[in-house]
Structure 1
Amino acid sequence: MRVRTMADLGALVRESREHSGLTQAELARRAGVSREWLLKVEAGRTPAEMPRVLDLLDELGMVLDVHTQEG
């Protein structure tokens, strides 16, 4: 999945969380964020702070890989 917007990132986090069998509360606790914050991230409604986003991805066993677009 290509992530271009916070909505894309939120959908990816939600899909991975659900695939991992985690509730929002459990993932939030593990990542050290509030459930309300995670809810906003999953909904794509807020420009999340990258360190917290990276904590979420880490808890889900995911790596953010950034490539430059040529041309």
Structure 2
Amino acid sequence: MMTSIRTTKQLGDALRAARKQLSLTQPQLALAAGVGVRFIVDLEAGKPTLRLENVMRVIDVLGGTLQIIDLPSDTSKNFSRGK
């Protein structure tokens, strides 16, 4: 299933729903992903300052992937570098 995510809160909600669908507790998910339970709590709450590497590990453990769509392929046309 594809879910459009635009906020950290939406990401947290989607990951919580996936965890519950898999009948995992927060401690079980934390152990499987190699993160602390506090990280899972913060992630599911939509905390915006979490480490991306750990977020990716949680997504992987839940069986998901991260896809980025609709970005321009050549960002140098849209932004000036070094200015």
* Structure ranking higher on relative contact order (CA contacts 8 Å, 6+ apart): 1
* Deviating 4+ runs (over 3 angstroms): none
Indicate the structure (1 or 2) with the bigger Cα radius of gyration.
Answer: 2
Q: Does 1:41 align with 2:43?
A: yes
CA RMSD of aligned residues (A): 1.3
State the identity as a percent: 31
**What secondary structure, in the 3-state scheme, does the structure 2 residue paired with 1:9 have?**
helix
Match of 1:31 in 2: 33
- Asked if the contact 1:11–1:43 (Cα under 8 Å) also holds between the matched residues in 2, the reply is yes
**Aligned length, in residue pairs:** 70
Query: Structure 2: where are the runs of 5+ without partners?
Result: 73-83
Give the structure with the larger helix fraction.
Answer: 1
Provide the TM-score with structure 2 as the length reference: 0.78
Deviations 1:42-61 (A, max 9, x none): 00124221110110011011
C-alpha distance in structure 2 between counterparts of 1:9 and 1:48, whole Å: 12
Q: Distance in 1 between matches of 2:33 and 2:20?
A: 15
Structure 1 residue ranges without an equivalent (≥5): none
